Chain A
Amino acid sequence: GNSVTQMEGPVTLSEEAFLTINCTYTATGYPSLFWYVQYPGEGLQLLLKATKADDKGSNKGFEATYRKETTSFHLEKGSVQVSDSAVYFCAHVASGGSYIPTFGRGTSLIVHP
């Protein structure tokens, strides 16, 4: 079946540290892949996406590359800020079928000054 697996949090970093949040997926066909971010007390908002193999999504200094051979979509940022503290969700939408997104469990990021 379709699923998304994210690394468990919380991830705790100092400001300006390098960030990686791992995400792997299982899906039939060729899904589109997404990272959403949720700030405290709010809904989710799209951070970046990639729709085919080897595509790189990027936004606000965050990047993720669609790796079909490893079924992964790891989120990276070279230098995190305190304002990046949030919960990050990896998601995919499988091609064909009902196009309903499948979300991972979310990874909490805490950045200390």
Chain B
Amino acid sequence: DGGITQSPKYLFRKEGQNVTLSCEQNLNHDAMYWYRQDPGQGLRLIYYSQIVNDFQKGDIAEGYSVSREKKESFPLTVTSAQKNPTAFYLCASSIGSGGSNEKLFFGSGTQLSVL
């Protein structure tokens, strides 16, 4: 079955540590996104990538980094500079043809907590 796989489902970070969240898709989508979800705040865009080897900052990129070396993979690193990393992280993808009517496909999320 085609879809988006996020791993791990739960992740714990020690202070000062960098952690990487995995996101893989087999939908052959060009565009991929990372969102952060906090209770009562909806979804906030961290980074997005519309093509391999290119990515753009979203609204809350500080303290995060990404790479897009392969079409199917878009890992997110939460660095030690992110002082409040506890949140639910969602990865999404879309066809990326440039139309406004494209829907997003979401993974099942990673809950990151600080020890």
Task: Please list the residues of chain A having a beta carbon within 8 angstroms of any beta carbon in chain B.
Answer: 31-32, 34, 36, 41-46, 49, 51, 89, 93-96, 98-101, 103-106
B108 and A43 within 8 A (CB): yes
Question: Given A51-B101, A99-B98, do A44 and B42 touch, yes or no (CB 8 Å)?
Answer: no
Most chain A CB atoms below 10 A, which of B35, B41, B42, B98: B42
- Chain A contact surface mostly: loop
The interface size bin for chain B is 20 to 34
| A54 vs chain B, min Cβ distance (A) | 15
A67–B50 Cα distance when bound, in Å, is: 30
Within the complex, which residue of B56, B98, B102, B104 is in contact with A44, where a contact is CB–CB below 8 Å? B104
Residue of A31, A34, A93, A105 near B41 (CB, 8 A) is A105
Q: Which of chain B's residues have a CB closer than 8 A to the CB of A103?
A: 35, 42-43
Contact A46 B100 (CB under 8 A): no
Are A101 and B104 in contact, CB atoms less than 8 angstroms apart?
Answer: yes
Give the complex CA separation of A31 and B101 in angstroms.
8
Q: Specify which chain B residues have a CB less than 8 angstroms from the CB of A89 in the assembled complex.
A: 42-43
